[in-house]
């Protein structure tokens, strides 16, 4: 039987997630609400993807890096450690609470070569304080693509922010391990959004692109060379409670917020039923997620 269904405190429960947008509550509000537990529930998927993004981007000591959609710092923090005090990292994000988390961490670590700004990557990318005169050595954008309304325009902006010879590194989630789609199917009737919208976590956001689509997008934006990489990330949920806590800590909470509160227990029971077939003999829930990376070079 499912455990009693916990819900976020009243103050962190947002309005219906039927149509997130980029102003007002929208995407920024969603991540503000998730920020308290975001990357803090013992699941290393996003931090692991951030470290891999920095590796694939070949960030080097002394470089100047712009991290777009920095969130709580999944790629910003490893980039900051890599460039060191001879370099600089600038992070931008829509969520003021996420930015505050990064600022607190960097202050505690005395990483004064990190700067952060609340900004929208789809707005005008005016030169930010500390931007090198000839542009950044690298722009990183981890798990940002599905949130973009106009990715072509954003890629053009990223290209203009780079110095000649710089590179743009982006990442996005791919396929889950077989069987996990049943959890989506089991819970979909309880909330808003199509199957594709629920699978991508936030109703209204784009479906994950294919590597070929990202390569074509980069070519159209003026990046003549694109490297594609694929990684398999693995984690294990201790039990269904751990999975429930994790899904509320991510953008997927937008779906759960769209479920009427009185139906949450039934929705969770449906999820529990689907999760039962995925349990290992010890009761844990192994989880595998394909992750894609593209490194786009500006000549």
What does the radius of gyration of the chain's CA atoms come to, in whole angstroms? 19
Of the listed ranges 120-129, 177-186, 202-211, the one predicted with least confidence: 202-211
Q: Give CA separation, 60 vs 54, 132, 138, 271, in Å.
A: 9, 16, 10, 44
CB 64 within 8 A of CB 132: yes
Amino acid 192: pLDDT: 73
Amino acid 4: pLDDT: 41
- DSSP symbols for 267-280: HHHHHHHHHHTT--
Q: pLDDT digit string (tens) for 219-271?
A: 999 999 999 999 999 999 999 999 999 999 998 888 899 899 999 999 999 99
Which residue, chain included where needed, has tokens 């995925």?
Answer: 278
Token code pair at residue 181 = 């789609």
Buried b (16+ CB within 10 A) or exposed e, 15-28: eebeebeeeeebbb
Q: pLDDT digit string (tens) for 205-216?
A: 677 899 999 999
Q: pLDDT digit string (tens) for 75-101?
A: 999 999 999 999 999 999 999 999 999
Amino acid 248: pLDDT: 95
Tell me if the domain spanning 25-176+206-251+285-297 has CATH number 3.40.50.150.
yes
Q: pLDDT digit string (tens) for 122-176?
A: 887 677 888 899 999 999 999 999 989 899 999 999 999 999 999 999 999 999 9
CB 20 within 8 A of CB 30: yes
pLDDT at 196 over 70: no
pLDDT at 191 over 90: no
User: Rounded distance, CA 91 to CA 271, Å?
Assistant: 36
Q: Domain-by-domain residue ranges, the chain? A: 25-176+206-251+285-297
Sign of the CA dihedral with 201 first, then 204, 209, and 214 last: negative
- DSSP symbols for 203-240: TTSPPPPPHHHHHHHHHHTT--EEEEEEEEEEEEESSH
CA-based angle 229:233:238, to the nearest 5?
170
CB 89 within 8 A of CB 67: yes
Buried b (16+ CB within 10 A) or exposed e, 222-240: ebeebeebebebebebeeb
Using pLDDT thresholds of 50, 70 and 90, give the confidence band for residue 195. low
Q: SS3 of 155, please? A: helix
Q: pLDDT digit string (tens) for 1-23?
A: 344 444 443 334 444 333 333 44
User: Rounded distance, CA 136 to CA 168, Å?
Assistant: 10
């Amino acid at each position: 039987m499912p455990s009693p269904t916990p819900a976020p405190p009243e103050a962190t429960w947002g309005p219906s997630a039927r149509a997130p947008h980029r102003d007002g509550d929208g995407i920024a509000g969603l991540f503000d609400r998730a920020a308290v537990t975001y990357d803090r529930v013992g699941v290393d998927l996003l931090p692991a993807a951030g470290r891999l993004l920095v590796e694939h981007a070949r960030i080097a000591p002394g470089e100047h890096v712009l991290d777009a959609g920095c969130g709580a710092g999944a790629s910003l923090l490893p980039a900051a450690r890599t460039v060191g005090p001879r370099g600089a990292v600038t992070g931008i994000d829509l969520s003021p609470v996420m930015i505050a988390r990064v600022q607190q961490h960097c202050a505690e670590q005395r990483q004064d070569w990190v700067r952060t700004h609340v900004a929208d990557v789809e707005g005008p990318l005016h030169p930010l304080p500390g931007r090198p005169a000839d542009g950044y050595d690298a722009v990183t954008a981890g798990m940002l693509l599905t949130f973009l309304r106009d990715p072509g325009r954003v890629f053009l902006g990223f290209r203009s922010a780079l110095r000649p010879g710089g590179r743009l590194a982006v990442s996005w989630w791919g396929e889950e391990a077989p069987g996990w789609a049943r959890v989506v199917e089991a819970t979909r009737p309880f909330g808003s959004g199509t199957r594709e919208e629920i699978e991508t976590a936030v109703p209204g956001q784009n479906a994950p692109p294919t590597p070929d689509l990202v390569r074509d997008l980069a070519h159209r934006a003026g990046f003549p060379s694109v490297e594609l990489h694929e990684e398999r990330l693995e984690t294990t949920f201790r039990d269904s409670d751990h999975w429930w806590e994790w899904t509320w800590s991510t953008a997927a909470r937008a779906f759960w917020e769209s479920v009427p509160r009185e139906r949450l227990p039934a929705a969770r029971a449906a999820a529990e039923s689907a999760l039962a077939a995925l349990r290992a003999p010890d009761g844990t829930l192994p989880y595998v997620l394909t992750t894609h990376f593209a490194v786009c070079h500006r000549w």
